[in-house]
Chains A and B, each alone.
Chain A
Amino acid sequence: MTQFEPLGSRTAMSRETIKFWYLVHKWSSLIPMAFLLMLCVTGLPLIFHDEIDAAMADEAGSALAETPSAEGGLPLDAMLETALEQRPGEVPLFMAFSQDDSLLTVTTGPSPDADGSQMTLLFLDRATGESLGPAPVNQLMDFLLTLHTDMFLGLPGMWALGVCGILFLVALVSGIVLYAPFMRRLPFGTVRTDRKPRTRRLDEHNLLGVVAFAWMMVVGATGAINAFANPLTDSWRESEVAAMTAGYGAQQPLSPDEYGSLDAAMAAAQEALPGRSPQFVGFPGGDWSSGHHYAIFFQGDRPVTQNLLTPALVDARSSQLTDARTMPAINQALMMSKPLHFGDYGGLPLKIIWAVMTLITIWVLWTGILLWLRRRSGRLERRIAEIQSGGTLGKAA
């Protein structure tokens, strides 16, 4: 007999192997358990972030024109001026475009490298040139979002949650490994209600876990990737952007009063990347650009590449294109992972499916806790016998 078990094999998994995977499953789920439950509970309302925001905001969005601000409207330089008039003394950090209506947003801050907490998000209408004032704030959703991303702890909080995500993936894989010996004598979908509550709970844990496995893997993995988004953006800026702008050497970063025309910059970028729709502009000195460039991020030109952004770096003083390069694979993975984590790419039905999957995940976590809390006292051997026998030996042992 070889070590490798072929798919058609009926040989039993050894006790030692089961013990190893049981311990992996137990600890990889117990350690991040409280965080995983928090992520599920806060994630549930966040799935419907847009809908909740739209319902709570007044008609700010309803009066907008249908021409997407990404495609046309009043000159960008005029829009930027209107935005900065509302925040005297501040500098522009980002400008973002809508693909659906004439909404244009401008983010300002006290300095080009301002921290997120010092930024102000302004809404403008690119069709009329009117300012719509600061973006409406939804304190509850902001609170949930911060709890979900970094627990108010900044980068260390994000990384801690990223590690929880990785442990969740380990728990899922080890759970699938244990599913094999447990189900050796049981047909798929077994939920035994005529036995002890523990048997029913084990059956539910296994069934729901295995059915939602693929979704939990995808959302867990994309969540973990998102948790490490900031270092990935930093590494892109420090390697790629630095290489693209090597010609600027040690020049001092451009001061905001030297910024040239954004419209001319956009025209130069669109000449290099024709037919693409802009998503946002990172201004010089921020996390998303160099000290001398407007970094204009364009969407891909096909639905599947819509989330993959290509930056064009345009000299912010002369409005001449410096370079346009696709981002490295790891940053592309980061961009693709966002929709797959949020579930916001397939309309309301997909969001409802996302919510159902989240409830299933909560149930799998909860039955997992109960199986651990209400275990009969005893050795590890009893747990292994339980898995090996498909739950039938649990009462005999």
Chain B
Amino acid sequence: MRHKPRNTLLQTFAVPLTLAIATVAGLILGLTGDGWRDLASWLLLIVSLLPIRAAFARRRSSAHRNARLGHSRLERKTS
């Protein structure tokens, strides 16, 4: 198999740790008051979920690309 560079533990957990901090900050900020704190709490929690959206959007586009590639390969074979 290909030998890709290995991540250190810090590299593996850099994004997850940032997301966890954003989540916890959002949860606590909302508890400490109303008004702008609630707004900041919603934003932090929504931002912490964005990677899922991003990953699934990427997935869709790559699935699309793969489907197209498969299709053109099929065309080449049949022609």
Q: Which residues of A contact B (CB under 8 A)?
A: 5-10, 176, 179-180, 183-186, 188-191, 193-194, 207-208, 210-215, 218, 303-304, 307, 336, 339-340, 345-347, 349-350, 353, 356-357, 360, 389, 392-393
Q: Which residues of B contact A (CB under 8 A)?
A: 1, 4-10, 12-16, 19-21, 23-24, 27, 30-34, 38, 41-42, 45-46, 48-49, 51-52, 54-56, 58-59, 62-63, 66
**When the two chains form the complex, which single residue of A193, A347, A357 contacts B63, counting CB atoms closer than 8 Å?**
A193
Residues of B within 8 A of A7 (CB): 8-10
The 4 closest A-B pairs by CB, nearest first: A214-B23, A346-B30, A214-B20, A303-B33
- Whether the pair A191, B55 counts as a contact (CB closer than 8 A) is yes
Residues of A within 8 A of B20 (CB): 213-214
**When the two chains form the complex, which single residue of A215, A339, A347, A349 contacts B23, counting CB atoms closer than 8 Å?**
A215
- Whether the pair B51, A188 counts as a contact (CB closer than 8 A) is yes
Q: Can you name the residue of chain B whose Cβ is closest to the Cβ of A13?
A: B9
Residues of B within 8 A of A389 (CB): 1
Beyond A179-B16, A193-B59, A218-B23, 8 additional pairs, beta carbon < 8 A: A10-B7, A191-B56, A191-B59, A208-B52, A211-B48, A214-B21, A303-B33, A345-B30
Residues of A within 8 A of B6 (CB): 10, 184-185
Instruction: A19 to B10: give the CA distance in the assembly, Å.
Output: 22
Q: How many A-B residue pairs have CB under 8 A?
A: 118
- Whether the pair B30, A304 counts as a contact (CB closer than 8 A) is no
Q: How far is the CB of A341 from chain B (nearest CB, A)?
A: 11
Instruction: A383 to B52: give the CA distance in the assembly, Å.
Output: 25
Q: How far is the CB of A162 from chain B (nearest CB, A)?
A: 21
Q: How far is the CB of A212 from chain B (nearest CB, A)?
A: 8
Knowing A346-B38, A350-B41 touch, does A207 contact B51 (C-beta < 8 A)?
yes
- Whether the pair B41, A207 counts as a contact (CB closer than 8 A) is no
- Whether the pair B31, A218 counts as a contact (CB closer than 8 A) is no
- Whether the pair A350, B30 counts as a contact (CB closer than 8 A) is yes
Instruction: A389 to B45: give the CA distance in the assembly, Å.
Output: 32
- Whether the pair B48, A304 counts as a contact (CB closer than 8 A) is no
Q: How far is the CB of B1 from chain A (nearest CB, A)?
A: 6
**When the two chains form the complex, which single residue of A210, A218, A356 contacts B24, counting CB atoms closer than 8 Å?**
A218
11 A-B pairs (CB sep. < 8 Å): A180-B13, A186-B7, A188-B51, A190-B55, A191-B56, A207-B55, A215-B45, A303-B34, A340-B27, A350-B42, A360-B52
Instruction: A340 to B27: give the CA distance in the assembly, Å.
Output: 8
Knowing A8-B10, A346-B30 touch, does A356 contact B49 (C-beta < 8 A)?
yes
**When the two chains form the complex, which single residue of B42, B55, B66 contacts A353, counting CB atoms closer than 8 Å?**
B42
- Whether the pair B62, A189 counts as a contact (CB closer than 8 A) is no
- Whether the pair A180, B9 counts as a contact (CB closer than 8 A) is yes
- Whether the pair B27, A218 counts as a contact (CB closer than 8 A) is yes
- Whether the pair B16, A191 counts as a contact (CB closer than 8 A) is no
Residues of A within 8 A of B46 (CB): 353
Residues of A within 8 A of B9 (CB): 5-9, 180
Instruction: A8 to B8: give the CA distance in the assembly, Å.
Output: 5
Which of B6, B16, B46 gathers most chain A CB within 10 Å? B16
Residues of B within 8 A of A185 (CB): 4-7
Q: Can you name the residue of chain B whose Cβ is closest to the Cβ of A200?
A: B59
**When the two chains form the complex, which single residue of A9, A304, A353 contacts B45, counting CB atoms closer than 8 Å?**
A353
Instruction: A189 to B52: give the CA distance in the assembly, Å.
Output: 8
- Whether the pair B30, A189 counts as a contact (CB closer than 8 A) is no
